[in-house]
Amino acid sequence: MNASATSTFKYALEKKTPRTGPGGITRGASVHEFPASIGIAGVSMRLEPGAMRELHWHANAAEWAYVITGTLRTTILHPDGQSYIDTFTPGDAWYFPKGYGHAIQNIGDQDAHFILIFDNGDFSEDHTFSITDFIAHVPPAIAAQNLGITVEEVALLPKGEAYFAKSAVPSIGSTIATPRPVPSLTTMHRYPLEAQQPRVIPGGGTQKLVTSREFPISQTISGSILELQPGALRELHWHPNADEWQYFLSGQAEITVFLAEGQAITEQFEAGDIGYVPMGAGHYIKNTGQNVCKILIGFNSGEYQSLDLSRWLASNPNDLLAGNFSIPDTLVSKFPQQNAFINPGRA
């Protein structure tokens, strides 16, 4: 773990100056902008109706996404020649393995906003392989032969990377553009996370979680939606197999990241901020606001693992705990007797 007490585990992503293009806006944070984020990079992207993130691929990172608003269509090509087209609505997640060619288009009549999570902290959304950039940088005769058009017609194509492209919203009559009604079934690349029955902690909050067990193609990233009631605490815990990346969808929160050897950093978060916790670092999340705090969380492992303090304490004999803390048995008896996960706020 390279972080130190001088590090910051917070980055105000939505306050960053965006990259803009025809119909699109993107804000990204890799380890270069957010040094603590060594294992995961993230992007907040918005598309106007009809706009698309052009056909492209990522050579060094897989992509996991969560849709906040809008209706999106994705296309993807697998190395075996199989292609897939899916429609996504708010609360849906997708996953594209690294190197697979794909595109994203807003096919609705409202702006779309979605969060992208990449399993490589050194990844930058700005450094992707785009189809327009590729074709523009081979000899025109090669492009013409490959596309089956003339050299003169090649001259009509973009002279460089489009990145974003603005197009008409596809016709509702198009079978591939018609949104599904209510999210229900998982496809190869689509998982309806918001439709999942949550884990509920009365008075504390909820968790929705998708791993490679529920979403088999997502081998390198797990995702979660955590909701905390006012005053509630996602208890002290750590993840032994993955870094944790957070995007704050709503509300306010406090997080302390414990780095061992007496080092700990406490940060305050609000909607639009992102946070990061290195693998194995102890931490908690407390809702410090008056409203529900909703957090999108990504882990750079297809398997979710967590060691919660309450479960750990409950698994040890009381005499061992009394000796560990140098306290009487009567105080140890007040410790948690089972896994809490989320502690409700105190009145």
Cite the active site residues.
Answer: 53, 56, 58, 63, 102, 125
Residue that is written with structure tokens 């102890």 in the block: 282
Token pair belonging to 141: 């005769």
Distance in angstroms (rounded) separating the CA atoms of residues 33 and 14: 13
Token pair belonging to 266: 């406490």
Query: 284 by DSSP, 3-state: which?
Result: strand
Token pair belonging to 345: 């706020």
Contact 125, 43 (CB under 8 A): yes
- Number of C-alpha atoms within 13 angstroms, CB side, residue 172? 3
Residue that is written with structure tokens 């944070």 in the block: 29
Contact 54, 131 (CB under 8 A): yes
User: Do strands 252-260 and 164-165 pair parallel, antiparallel, or not at all (unpaired)?
Assistant: unpaired
Distance in angstroms (rounded) separating the CA atoms of residues 282 and 179: 42
What DSSP character marks residue 194? G
CA distances from 241 to 42, 220, 307 (A): 19, 11, 10
Helix extents (H) in the chain: 131-136, 140-147, 151-154, 309-314, 318-325, 329-332
